[in-house]
Structure 1
């Protein structure tokens, strides 16, 4: 009788259950933490692309001709991305310079769209395959009374 009572008590005991619970919950918590970090890094990279687009739009808005604005905007976007440590496998900068042709005294705007393709291994984990394309658009107002291009 004593033997079966001891055996029954052992079966009902909760010794070792904490280790089993930890073995089940810990991987899920680690995966959740990794996903949170990955999301944060993608959002941070997106804000760097936003800053590059703002810099490009502002730089384009202070030039008088569309050609000069395009060249300056591309240089400003590249400088902004490099200054923030963002490495793009491909970058494109598109500028809408229609606001430079508006007569002086009227409001004109210049819009810059920056697209950057970033390797996921740079964003998340080294060796991770694939890329992510991030795009941002920013608009800058052309000075109302500034002389415009030909």
Structure 2
């Protein structure tokens, strides 16, 4: 070794940048997955609310035809009001509870199915779609007159 020259030890300069480059993509991916999961849960809650609105609306009508039309309209209005853009909506209404005699308890059941593009639901540009389904039941007033 020459006099006056020193061997420099290897320091850890730049290691923070390398650590960040390794860790940051994973953290960002977890954050995106958490946001996507939250949006899925929120969308399921919106479908649940639409099914409940439709069932309640159907249960207050006297005829099966008017109950089905009202349930479809209520589900569509609820989904639009909540900002959930469905590419297709299916509303199935079971109005059997409207046919029970006055004085007996009947129920109306509504199932709402909404197909949502993943680009609207999770991340812009994401291909594919997800079908969300919910059902709700509402009691028909047992003393209310029913139509024919």
- Tell whether the structures are fold-level matches, with TM greater than 0.5: yes
| TM superposition score normalised by structure 2 | 0.93
What is the match of residue 43 of structure 2?
Answer: 45
Equivalent position to 2:18, from 14, 20, 23: 20
What is the match of residue 55 of structure 1?
Answer: 53
Higher percent of residues as helix: 1
- Where in structure 2 are there 5+ consecutive unaligned residues? none
What is the match of residue 124 of structure 1?
Answer: 122
> C-alpha separation between the residues in 1 aligned to 2:14 and 2:86?
50
Number of paired residues?
147
What is the match of residue 82 of structure 1?
Answer: 80
What is the match of residue 143 of structure 1?
Answer: 141
- Cα deviation, residue 6, structure 1: 2.2
What is the match of residue 6 of structure 1?
Answer: 7
Matches within 5 A, 1:108-123: 108-123=106-121
- CA-based RMSD of the aligned residues comes to 1.6
> C-alpha separation between the residues in 2 aligned to 1:65 and 1:76?
16
> C-alpha separation between the residues in 2 aligned to 1:49 and 1:76?
12
User: Runs of at least 4 residues of structure 1 off by over 3 A?
Assistant: 1-5
> C-alpha separation between the residues in 2 aligned to 1:68 and 1:4?
96
Secondary structure in 2 matching 1:88: coil
- Cα deviation, residue 149, structure 1: 2.4
